[in-house]
Amino acid sequence: KKIYHEILSAKAENRKLLAVLLDPDKVDMDNLSVLIEKIRTSPATHIFVGGSIVETNKMDELVHFLKNGLSLPIVLFPGNPSQISTFADGILFLSLLSGRNPDYLIEHHVNAVSVLNKSTLEIISTGYILIESGSQTAVERISKTKPLDRNNVEYVCQTAKAGEYLGNKLIYLEAGSGAKLAVPIEMIKVVSKEISVPLIVGGGIRSQQAIQAAFEAGADLVVIGTAFENDLNFFTHD
Ligand code: 1GP
Protein backbone atom coordinates (compact mmCIF):
# COMPACT_ATOMS: atom_id res chain seq x y z
CA LYS A 1 0.00 0.00 0.00
CA LYS A 2 2.93 2.31 -0.65
CA ILE A 3 1.30 4.75 -3.03
CA TYR A 4 -1.76 5.43 -0.90
CA HIS A 5 0.29 5.74 2.28
CA GLU A 6 2.49 8.30 0.59
CA ILE A 7 -0.58 10.30 -0.50
CA LEU A 8 -1.93 10.16 3.05
CA SER A 9 1.32 11.31 4.61
CA ALA A 10 1.62 14.12 2.07
CA LYS A 11 -1.87 15.25 3.04
CA ALA A 12 -1.03 15.07 6.75
CA GLU A 13 2.07 17.19 6.15
CA ASN A 14 0.30 19.55 3.74
CA ARG A 15 2.78 18.57 1.04
CA LYS A 16 1.04 19.00 -2.32
CA LEU A 17 1.27 16.37 -5.04
CA LEU A 18 1.28 16.74 -8.79
CA ALA A 19 0.54 14.05 -11.35
CA VAL A 20 1.40 14.25 -15.02
CA LEU A 21 -1.23 12.38 -17.03
CA LEU A 22 0.05 10.65 -20.14
CA ASP A 23 -2.33 9.30 -22.73
CA PRO A 24 -0.54 6.60 -24.78
CA ASP A 25 -2.60 7.65 -27.80
CA LYS A 26 -1.22 11.18 -27.66
CA VAL A 27 2.34 10.55 -26.56
CA ASP A 28 5.01 10.65 -29.25
CA MET A 29 6.39 7.14 -28.84
CA ASP A 30 9.45 7.97 -30.97
CA ASN A 31 10.52 10.71 -28.60
CA LEU A 32 10.07 9.11 -25.23
CA SER A 33 13.53 9.95 -23.93
CA VAL A 34 12.79 13.68 -24.27
CA LEU A 35 9.51 13.17 -22.45
CA ILE A 36 11.25 11.28 -19.65
CA GLU A 37 13.84 14.03 -19.26
CA LYS A 38 11.14 16.72 -19.09
CA ILE A 39 9.27 14.78 -16.43
CA ARG A 40 12.44 14.13 -14.48
CA THR A 41 13.15 17.85 -14.21
CA SER A 42 9.50 18.75 -13.48
CA PRO A 43 7.81 19.02 -10.07
CA ALA A 44 5.72 15.89 -10.83
CA THR A 45 5.39 13.43 -7.96
CA HIS A 46 3.27 10.84 -9.80
CA ILE A 47 2.67 9.64 -13.34
CA PHE A 48 -0.86 8.74 -14.31
CA VAL A 49 -1.29 6.74 -17.51
CA GLY A 50 -4.58 6.34 -19.30
CA GLY A 51 -6.97 7.63 -21.88
CA SER A 52 -10.40 7.08 -23.24
CA ILE A 53 -9.56 4.55 -25.92
CA VAL A 54 -6.16 2.93 -25.59
CA GLU A 55 -5.16 -0.63 -26.43
CA THR A 56 -3.36 -2.75 -23.82
CA ASN A 57 -0.19 -3.23 -25.83
CA LYS A 58 0.24 0.52 -26.18
CA MET A 59 -0.25 0.90 -22.41
CA ASP A 60 2.28 -1.83 -21.73
CA GLU A 61 4.84 -0.27 -24.04
CA LEU A 62 4.54 3.19 -22.50
CA VAL A 63 4.39 1.97 -18.89
CA HIS A 64 7.40 -0.24 -19.45
CA PHE A 65 9.43 2.62 -20.84
CA LEU A 66 8.40 5.00 -18.04
CA LYS A 67 9.26 2.42 -15.38
CA ASN A 68 12.74 2.06 -16.79
CA GLY A 69 13.37 5.79 -17.06
CA LEU A 70 11.74 7.24 -13.94
CA SER A 71 11.51 6.48 -10.24
CA LEU A 72 8.10 8.12 -9.78
CA PRO A 73 5.11 5.87 -9.05
CA ILE A 74 3.26 4.91 -12.24
CA VAL A 75 -0.47 4.81 -11.61
CA LEU A 76 -3.02 3.60 -14.14
CA PHE A 77 -5.98 5.85 -14.83
CA PRO A 78 -7.93 3.51 -17.08
CA GLY A 79 -10.98 4.18 -19.19
CA ASN A 80 -11.86 0.48 -19.17
CA PRO A 81 -10.42 -2.89 -18.07
CA SER A 82 -8.63 -3.55 -21.36
CA GLN A 83 -6.23 -0.76 -20.44
CA ILE A 84 -4.77 -2.44 -17.38
CA SER A 85 -1.03 -2.86 -17.69
CA THR A 86 0.43 -5.08 -15.01
CA PHE A 87 3.80 -3.32 -15.37
CA ALA A 88 2.48 -0.25 -13.51
CA ASP A 89 2.73 0.26 -9.74
CA GLY A 90 -0.87 1.04 -8.96
CA ILE A 91 -4.31 1.69 -10.36
CA LEU A 92 -7.00 4.21 -9.57
CA PHE A 93 -9.98 1.86 -9.38
CA LEU A 94 -12.47 4.48 -10.49
CA SER A 95 -16.18 4.44 -9.88
CA LEU A 96 -17.97 7.19 -11.80
CA LEU A 97 -20.18 8.47 -8.97
CA SER A 98 -21.55 11.44 -10.88
CA GLY A 99 -23.17 9.16 -13.45
CA ARG A 100 -25.88 6.54 -13.38
CA ASN A 101 -24.38 4.13 -15.87
CA PRO A 102 -23.90 0.77 -14.10
CA ASP A 103 -20.99 -0.14 -16.41
CA TYR A 104 -18.88 2.62 -14.90
CA LEU A 105 -20.20 2.14 -11.37
CA ILE A 106 -19.53 -1.62 -11.07
CA GLU A 107 -19.61 -3.68 -14.30
CA HIS A 108 -16.13 -2.83 -15.61
CA HIS A 109 -14.78 -3.39 -12.11
CA VAL A 110 -16.13 -6.94 -11.99
CA ASN A 111 -14.55 -7.63 -15.38
CA ALA A 112 -11.21 -6.26 -14.22
CA VAL A 113 -10.86 -8.65 -11.27
CA SER A 114 -9.26 -11.57 -13.10
CA VAL A 115 -6.43 -9.42 -14.48
CA LEU A 116 -6.03 -7.52 -11.21
CA ASN A 117 -5.72 -10.77 -9.30
CA LYS A 118 -2.82 -11.78 -11.49
CA SER A 119 -1.01 -8.51 -10.90
CA THR A 120 0.83 -6.84 -8.04
CA LEU A 121 -0.84 -3.49 -8.75
CA GLU A 122 -1.79 -1.45 -5.70
CA ILE A 123 -5.52 -0.96 -6.09
CA ILE A 124 -6.77 2.40 -4.88
CA SER A 125 -10.55 2.80 -4.88
CA THR A 126 -11.43 6.24 -6.15
CA GLY A 127 -14.76 8.03 -6.27
CA TYR A 128 -14.66 9.78 -9.64
CA ILE A 129 -16.93 12.79 -10.05
CA LEU A 130 -17.35 14.52 -13.39
CA ILE A 131 -18.18 18.23 -13.19
CA GLU A 132 -19.79 20.19 -15.99
CA SER A 133 -17.05 22.21 -17.72
CA GLY A 134 -18.53 24.30 -20.52
CA SER A 135 -18.67 21.70 -23.28
CA GLN A 136 -18.90 17.95 -23.72
CA THR A 137 -15.76 16.03 -22.73
CA ALA A 138 -14.54 12.54 -23.67
CA VAL A 139 -15.53 11.11 -20.27
CA GLU A 140 -19.09 12.29 -20.78
CA ARG A 141 -19.24 10.96 -24.34
CA ILE A 142 -17.72 7.58 -23.62
CA SER A 143 -19.41 6.90 -20.30
CA LYS A 144 -22.72 8.21 -21.64
CA THR A 145 -23.30 10.02 -18.36
CA LYS A 146 -24.07 13.61 -17.51
CA PRO A 147 -21.60 15.63 -15.46
CA LEU A 148 -22.81 17.31 -12.26
CA ASP A 149 -23.95 20.92 -12.35
CA ARG A 150 -20.92 23.15 -11.62
CA ASN A 151 -23.13 25.55 -9.69
CA ASN A 152 -24.62 22.94 -7.39
CA VAL A 153 -21.78 22.69 -4.90
CA GLU A 154 -24.00 21.12 -2.27
CA TYR A 155 -24.92 18.16 -4.47
CA VAL A 156 -21.30 17.64 -5.52
CA CYS A 157 -20.36 17.69 -1.84
CA GLN A 158 -22.99 15.10 -0.98
CA THR A 159 -21.78 12.92 -3.85
CA ALA A 160 -18.18 13.17 -2.64
CA LYS A 161 -19.18 12.35 0.93
CA ALA A 162 -21.28 9.38 -0.22
CA GLY A 163 -18.20 8.19 -2.10
CA GLU A 164 -16.17 8.38 1.08
CA TYR A 165 -18.87 6.55 3.09
CA LEU A 166 -18.82 3.80 0.44
CA GLY A 167 -15.17 3.26 1.26
CA ASN A 168 -13.43 5.11 -1.55
CA LYS A 169 -9.86 6.01 -0.53
CA LEU A 170 -9.68 9.04 -2.79
CA ILE A 171 -12.16 11.47 -4.30
CA TYR A 172 -11.38 12.83 -7.76
CA LEU A 173 -13.12 15.97 -9.03
CA GLU A 174 -12.78 15.85 -12.81
CA ALA A 175 -13.63 18.57 -15.32
CA GLY A 176 -12.53 16.30 -18.18
CA SER A 177 -9.36 16.29 -20.21
CA GLY A 178 -8.96 19.49 -22.20
CA ALA A 179 -11.95 21.02 -20.39
CA LYS A 180 -12.86 24.59 -21.21
CA LEU A 181 -13.49 25.35 -17.55
CA ALA A 182 -11.64 23.71 -14.67
CA VAL A 183 -13.38 22.60 -11.47
CA PRO A 184 -14.52 25.80 -9.68
CA ILE A 185 -12.20 26.92 -6.87
CA GLU A 186 -15.15 27.39 -4.53
CA MET A 187 -16.18 23.76 -5.12
CA ILE A 188 -12.66 22.54 -4.28
CA LYS A 189 -12.80 24.57 -1.06
CA VAL A 190 -16.12 23.17 0.08
CA VAL A 191 -15.53 19.54 -0.96
CA SER A 192 -12.05 19.39 0.57
CA LYS A 193 -13.50 20.54 3.90
CA GLU A 194 -16.34 18.03 3.71
CA ILE A 195 -14.32 14.87 3.06
CA SER A 196 -11.50 13.40 5.10
CA VAL A 197 -9.89 11.33 2.35
CA PRO A 198 -7.42 13.02 -0.05
CA LEU A 199 -8.85 15.07 -2.93
CA ILE A 200 -7.60 14.88 -6.52
CA VAL A 201 -8.52 17.66 -8.96
CA GLY A 202 -7.97 17.60 -12.72
CA GLY A 203 -9.18 18.78 -16.08
CA GLY A 204 -8.61 22.10 -17.83
CA ILE A 205 -5.81 23.26 -15.54
CA ARG A 206 -3.38 25.13 -17.80
CA SER A 207 -1.13 27.42 -15.76
CA GLN A 208 1.09 27.39 -12.69
CA GLN A 209 -1.31 29.89 -11.12
CA ALA A 210 -4.26 27.56 -11.69
CA ILE A 211 -2.32 24.68 -10.11
CA GLN A 212 -1.49 26.88 -7.13
CA ALA A 213 -5.08 28.07 -6.80
CA ALA A 214 -6.34 24.47 -6.73
CA PHE A 215 -3.76 23.58 -4.06
CA GLU A 216 -4.64 26.60 -1.94
CA ALA A 217 -8.34 25.75 -2.21
CA GLY A 218 -7.66 22.29 -0.76
CA ALA A 219 -6.69 19.91 -3.58
CA ASP A 220 -4.14 17.38 -2.32
CA LEU A 221 -3.11 16.24 -5.78
CA VAL A 222 -3.52 18.11 -9.07
CA VAL A 223 -3.47 16.36 -12.45
CA ILE A 224 -1.96 18.00 -15.54
CA GLY A 225 -2.52 16.33 -18.91
CA THR A 226 -3.17 18.50 -21.96
CA ALA A 227 -1.05 21.50 -20.87
CA PHE A 228 2.06 19.32 -20.59
CA GLU A 229 1.17 17.28 -23.65
CA ASN A 230 0.98 20.47 -25.74
CA ASP A 231 4.11 21.99 -24.26
CA LEU A 232 6.78 19.83 -22.71
CA ASN A 233 8.31 22.99 -21.22
CA PHE A 234 5.07 23.78 -19.37
CA PHE A 235 6.62 23.31 -15.93
CA THR A 236 9.55 25.64 -16.63
CA HIS A 237 7.37 28.65 -17.52
CA ASP A 238 6.37 31.17 -14.85
C1 1GP B 1 -7.55 13.94 -16.23
O2 1GP B 1 -8.32 15.74 -15.94
C3 1GP B 1 -7.20 15.17 -16.37
O4 1GP B 1 -8.17 14.11 -15.03
C5 1GP B 1 -6.34 15.95 -17.20
O6 1GP B 1 -7.02 17.01 -17.77
O7 1GP B 1 -5.83 17.10 -19.92
O8 1GP B 1 -7.20 19.01 -19.13
O9 1GP B 1 -5.05 18.50 -18.01
P10 1GP B 1 -6.23 17.96 -18.76
CATH code of the domain in which 99 resides: 3.20.20.390
CA distances in angstroms from 194 to 20, 88, 92, 152, 198, listed in the order given: 26, 31, 21, 15, 11
Taken in order 45, 188, 76, 120, the sign of the CA dihedral is positive
Give the residue numbers spanning the domain of 226: 2-231
Number of structural domains in the chain: 1
* Residue 102 pLDDT greater than 90, yes or no: yes
Prediction pTM value: 0.98
In a domain, 237, yes or no: no
* pLDDT score of 52: 76
pLDDT in tens, 56-96: 788 999 999 999 999 999 999 998 888 899 999 999 999 99
Of 77, 79, 76, 82, nearest to 121 by C-alpha is 76
Q: Ligand 1 centre and the CA of 179: distance in Å?
A: 7
User: What atom of ligand 1 comes closest to residue 224's alpha carbon?
Assistant: 9
Task: Classify 206 as helix, strand or coil.
Answer: coil
In a domain, 109, yes or no: yes
Position 111 confidence tier, pLDDT thresholds 50, 70, 90: very high
In a domain, 236, yes or no: no
Q: Are the CB atoms for 172 and 77 separated by under 8 Å?
A: no
Q: Ligand 1 centre and the CA of 62: distance in Å?
A: 18
User: What atom of ligand 1 comes closest to residue 206's alpha carbon?
Assistant: 9
Of 103, 104, 94, 98, nearest to 124 by C-alpha is 94
Distance CA 147, CA 37 (A): 36
Mutate to test the pocket of ligand 1, among 83, 174, 222, 234 (most ligand atoms within 8 A of CB): 174
**What letters, b where the CB count within 10 A reaches 16 and e where it falls short, cover 17-52?**
bbbbbbbbeebeeeebeebeebbeebebbbbbbbbb
Mean of all residue pLDDT scores within the chain: 96
In a domain, 69, yes or no: yes
Distance CA 185, CA 106 (A): 30
* pLDDT score of 80: 85
Position 16 confidence tier, pLDDT thresholds 50, 70, 90: very high
The three state secondary structure string of 110-153 is HHHHHHHHCCCCEEEEEEEEEECCCCCCHHHHHHCCCCECCCCH
Distance CA 47, CA 4 (A): 14
